[in-house]
Amino acid sequence: MEGPLVNAVVDDETCEEDGVPNQMQEETEDYFQDPTSILLTDIDPIPTERFPEYVRDMLYGEEHKLKEEFSALGKLPQPPSTVAVLPHNKAHNRFNNIYPYNRSRVCLKATPGVDSCDYINASLIDGYGGRKNAYIAAQGPVDVSVERFWRMVWEYETPTILMLTQCTEAGKVKCVQYWPEKLHDSLSVGEKFRVTFSSNMPFAEYEFRKFKLENLSESESKHMTVSHLHYTAWPDHGVPDNVMSLIAFIRHVRKLHPVSHQQPLLVHCSAGVGRTGTLILLDIIMQQMKTEGTISVLHWLRNLRMQRMKMVQSQQQYEFIHCGLSELVVCGETEVGAANLRIALKNLKKKGPVGFTGFQRQMQIIEEVSSHHPVTFSDAEEEYNRNKNRFPDKLPKMTLIV
């Protein structure tokens, strides 16, 4: 039984996360040769233990250096993306200002008898340590690109898809539902592929689905299993309220799809640049932290933007990455598997060299991290709401108020 595809509106819409109008790029060999740009000056990696102090200075200092850095990123010249705007490819773009560069776009195999069918709005992205094509950063499929999306998964043998958007947000279609509606249903995609919804396991902030992708055009039908991890805690506008939940999500992904995996990790949101770029950048820097004990946010984001435009699309996302990495440095990995909970609790009860238990030390860390993230309580503090608060210093956060 086939599941329905949700209609998407494309045409002249621009990506709403930044609202920057499209600018056609001229063919030029000197894409990144501006010698005055701070982005071309290699900045020394920052030791992880110094990173929280660095973030406080960059974010809360008088000079607002993070804001300057992000603003400078927008001035980088862009390589050409002329293939994306060819007449026969325009319908495959969700937004009219987000395109893959010619040199890093995903090229699909030609289909005999079908002209101009190699285009999809997706880019190959290199990973940590110079690993080529470690990721595919893609827009959320539109109606006409669903077949090409699954063809990309098949041709690049991509076993894992990360989805960072809801299909519909605030009444607007952000991504066509490209899988069957119901568990165990199948969806025919074009003439070659069939997708079967094999299993679904919900977690607190993401869903873990498995699909069976079949290629029906082969003499003997072949298939592959695709894991689909759908992160659902990213709000329509802004960033996740809890950065550690996103970091935990990335860790879970890497248990399923290790860094050593030869096939690329496919990541998409709606436009394939904002949320997608944020997750990919966090993943790369988490690998750098583990291997080198250093952090180089600007260096890696510059590399990402050389491969796909507008990766990490807003200043809010840029600050979120810095604050998240700072919190990761301070807190470390605190997730405990259920099987190890008893041992973890026993260790937390022990006193350390300075006389504090693990519980007390964790509470100190929570207080330290919280002090660096100002919280807005404006509605709760209004005159007409004050008599509803039992304690004036215990108020609901503005973004979470019921």
Mean pLDDT of the chain: 86
Residue 331 known to be catalytic: no
Give percent of the chain with pLDDT exceeding 70: 83
Q: Between the CA atoms of 84, 89, 95 and 99, what dihedral angle is there, to the nearest 10 degrees?
A: -10
Residue 162 and residue 122 share a domain: yes
Residue 221 and residue 355 share a domain: no
**Does the pLDDT value for residue 307 go beyond 80?**
yes
Q: Looking at the domain assignment, is residue 31 inside a domain?
A: no
What are 229's strand-pairing partners? 162, 208
**Does the pLDDT value for residue 6 go beyond 80?**
no
Instruction: Look at 218 and 191; give whichever has higher pLDDT.
Output: 191
Rounded Cα–Cα distance for residues 84 and 276 (Å): 19
List Cα–Cα distances, 276 to 59, 124, 381, in angstroms.
23, 13, 36
β-pairing, 160-163 vs 294-295, is: unpaired
Residue 377 and residue 228 share a domain: no
Residue 376 and residue 291 share a domain: no
111-157 confidence digits (pLDDT tens): 776 767 899 999 999 999 999 999 999 999 999 999 999 999 999 99
Q: What is the predicted pLDDT for the residue at 188?
A: 97
361, two tokens = 């030390």
Q: Identify the band that residue 70 occupies on the pLDDT scale cut at 50, 70 and 90.
A: very high
Residue 184 and residue 99 share a domain: yes
Q: What is the predicted pLDDT for the residue at 376?
A: 61
223-273 confidence digits (pLDDT tens): 999 999 999 999 877 899 889 999 999 999 999 999 999 999 999 999 999
Mean pLDDT of 45-61: 92
**Residue 57, domain extent:** 38-331
- Is residue 347 within 8 A of residue 119, CB to CB? The reply is no
Domain count of the chain? 2
- Terminal CA-to-CA distance of the chain, rounded, Å? 40
Q: What is the predicted pLDDT for the residue at 3?
A: 40
Residue 383 and residue 267 share a domain: no
Q: Please identify which of the residues 15, 167, 175, 269 carries the catalytic annotation.
A: 269
Q: Looking at the domain assignment, is residue 234 inside a domain?
A: yes
335, two tokens = 């997730």
DSSP 143: G
159, two tokens = 């076993």
Residue 357 and residue 234 share a domain: no
β-pairing, 193-202 vs 135-138, is: unpaired
The model carries a pTM of 0.85
Q: What is the predicted pLDDT for the residue at 44?
A: 85
Rounded Cα–Cα distance for residues 149 and 138 (Å): 9
Position 387, amino acid: N
Residue 231 and residue 116 share a domain: yes
Q: Looking at the domain assignment, is residue 44 inside a domain?
A: yes
CATH code at position 301: 3.90.190.10
Rounded Cα–Cα distance for residues 290 and 298 (Å): 18
Rounded Cα–Cα distance for residues 380 and 396 (Å): 7
Tell me, rounded to whole angstroms, the distance of Cα 241 from its chain centroid: 15
